[in-house]
Amino acid sequence: MKLFLPTIGLSIVLALLWVYWDHVRMVGVKNSVGAQEVSQARPVLIYEPAQVKAFQIRHGQELIISARMDKNRAWTLEAPFRAPADAYMVDRALGILSRVTMAGPVASEAPNLEEFGLQEPKISVEIEDGADRQWLAVGKAAPLGGTFYARTSQSKQIVLVPQKEILLLPKSPSELLDLRVVPLARDPVHTIEVRQGTVSIRLQATSDGGWTIQSPVRASVDRSVMVEWLDRLTALRASKVSPRDGREGSRSRASRVGSIILTAGYVSESVEFFRDGSRILARRSDQPNLQYELADQDSSLLLPELSHLRDKRLLVE
């Protein structure tokens, strides 16, 4: 029995050492995997989106977007045409850029940028971050599926970036603009005027949340029809926004369909609708230099007839 005691003790010690080693090994593996995941998720261009004052996006040599923040912290699209930019859409674009990650390194330095399509980048983004300028250049697609070659101002290293992340970047200036067609539609509007030809319908909000027709006749409005129409105006978005062509020949081809004037508080804004062939175009009074193109819109849904709005169950004398 005494002979077996040392053997048993040694076996217990070895078992404890094995358990301890296995635990250390698993912790090491987890730490290694965690470090690898952190490395793979590292942003390729490190900056603070809230500090960006201007940025540009080019496709090859073509300037697609140039936007800048003014002293009042309002964003303006400066190229390819000048227009107020939507702050939410600008923040979204800068957020997308900040989340472009490095899928893996390729070369510490590129002796030949042309080999990676970086001599003349396919896509390039430049940002002004305070007094500094940072840039990301995206080259040709890598043989490794789903990635592009890329390089930044922060490193000479050539890296791989996921195509799906790059393709989320804005591709046209319309993606930075307010695409709402009807101004003030989200505000507490109290008066609406709809004009079609010589007919003008004036609508007035009531204290109980309803609406009445003030002219050309006084009548009650069908509440459900009014809610549906206002929801449609609020949700109306342009499929394309472009600078307004001021040439007379271009204006003469578009026939005026009608207009809507909305008043909230002491502010009134209007939107005019035109038909140019099969297209419906809109022009907002607060954005006189822009033209909004609507996709597959029936003008009768935008500019309802008096008989459609009227509550046929009751007339107000």
pLDDT per residue as tens digits for the range 73-124: 999 999 999 888 999 999 999 999 999 999 988 877 666 888 899 999 999 9
As a whole number, the mean pLDDT across the chain is 83
- Quote the pLDDT of residue 64: 95
pTM of the full predicted structure? 0.68
If residue 37 lies in a helix (H) or strand (E), which one and from where to where? Answer: helix 4-40
Token pair for 180:
């709402």
Total Cβ atoms within 10 A of residue 33: 10
CA distance 37 to 133: 29
Comparing 241-245, 262-266, 280-284, the range with the smallest average pLDDT is: 241-245
Cβ neighbours for 105, distance < 8 A, ≥ 6 positions apart: 157, 158, 159, 160
pLDDT tens sequence across 231-240:
988 888 898 8
Tell whether the model's pLDDT for residue 24 goes beyond 70. Answer: no
Mean local confidence (pLDDT), 1-20? 56
Tell whether the model's pLDDT for residue 297 goes beyond 70. Answer: no
Comparing 107-121, 213-227, 262-276, the range with the smallest average pLDDT is: 107-121
Tell whether the model's pLDDT for residue 49 goes beyond 70. Answer: yes
